[in-house]
Structure 1
Amino acid sequence: MEWANELMWPLTAWHWLALGLILLSIEMAVGTFDLLWIAIAAGVTAIFAAIAPAGLSDWQGQLIFFAAAATGLLILGRTVFAGMRRLVSDHPTLNQRMNRTIGQRALVVSGFSGGMGRVKLGDTEWSAETMDGSNPGEGTSVVVEETNGNILRIRIAG
């Protein structure tokens, strides 16, 4: 076991760099953003271990520096950079075909009964239901308000 002590102590910049890369690899697999900040703290600690004076860069100093850096960066990541966790899309309706129909005009192709009927939107006929339970006649212009599965929820265009 003496070889293990020689391998780990004293801690060097290479140990911290390896820890940072391992944590970064795990972060890439899980995507929580929490390990990202700890990996960055390990990288900063590697720089600290490489350039700090001998009295500060012993293993206790490195661990204290790492703990402070990890805590600070984790708090910073949870507050200032909290927006990184939200998924923001340039195309919010990408792969959501039904949501792309909202706000579009359609034409009733068969009279409604009980608030249900069919409309033509573009070159496709869709099942539809009225928002207010009305029964628009054939040829009436309607607007898609929302969707429910593959059913368009419409209102009469005004």
Structure 2
Amino acid sequence: MQIIQYLGANGPWSWIVAGLVLLALELVVPGGFLLWMGIAGILTGILVLFQPLDWPVQWLVFGVLSLASILVWVRLTRNRAAQTDRPLLNQRAEHFIGQEAVLDQPITGGFGRLALDDTVWRIAGPDLPAGQRVRITGADGAVLRVEPV
């Protein structure tokens, strides 16, 4: 009972402190959601500081602000493409597309092997003799597709 009386007497400050606690938790448990809930708690506390509201209305305001801010945040960040200076990182096969090389071994039965950099790749394409110049046109997993130049 004393906690309810304390919260009733210090309602706005309780919301502001709860918002700050949520912001502090966001530092420990990153993800973004606690950030927006903390901001909603602080805004609810500021609103209650200037316009006294009953507890159910305060919870409703907090809930609406939390949901609205999280939904706006998710909508804005969902369609944002990750910007990177190395877009083909962890896509080694796609890195070779467009490059030309000379076959060390012939392609027979539609498959062969080609040494690129420090790796021997499995290649797929038409039957070609050793010494033929080829261009890498695509990749199917770890198999590079080639065509004669």
For Structure 1 versus Structure 2, the TM-score category normalised by the shorter chain is 0.7 to 0.9
Distance 1:28 1:89 in 2: 25
Q: Equivalent residues in 2 for 1:68-147 (5 A)?
A: 68-79=64-75, 81-83=76-78, 88-90=82-84, 91-122=86-117, 124-130=119-125, 134-147=126-139
Distance 1:120 1:107 in 2: 9
Q: Is the 8 A contact 2:12 2:46 kept in 1?
A: no
In 2 relative to 1, CA 145–20 (structure 1 residues): closer, same or farther, beyond 3 Å?
farther
1:111 Cα offset (Å): 0.7
Distance 1:64 1:117 in 2: 66
One-letter amino acid of the structure 1 residue matched with residue 65 of structure 2 = A
State the TM-score, normalizing by the size of structure 1.
0.69
- Aligned Cα root-mean-square deviation (Å): 3.1
The residue number in structure 2 matching 1:153 is 145
Give unpaired runs (5+ residues) of structure 2. none
Q: What fraction of aligned residue pairs are identical, expressed as a percent?
A: 24
Q: Count how many residue pairs are aligned between Structure 1 and Structure 2.
A: 146
Q: Is the 8 A contact 1:107 1:120 kept in 2?
A: no
In 2 relative to 1, CA 82–100 (structure 1 residues): closer, same or farther, beyond 3 Å?
same
Give unpaired runs (5+ residues) of structure 1. none
User: Does residue 62 of structure 2 align to residue 25 of structure 1?
Assistant: no
1:152 Cα offset (Å): 1.7
State the TM-score, normalizing by the size of structure 2.
0.72
1:58 Cα offset (Å): 3.3
1:44 Cα offset (Å): 2.0
The residue number in structure 1 matching 2:59 is 63
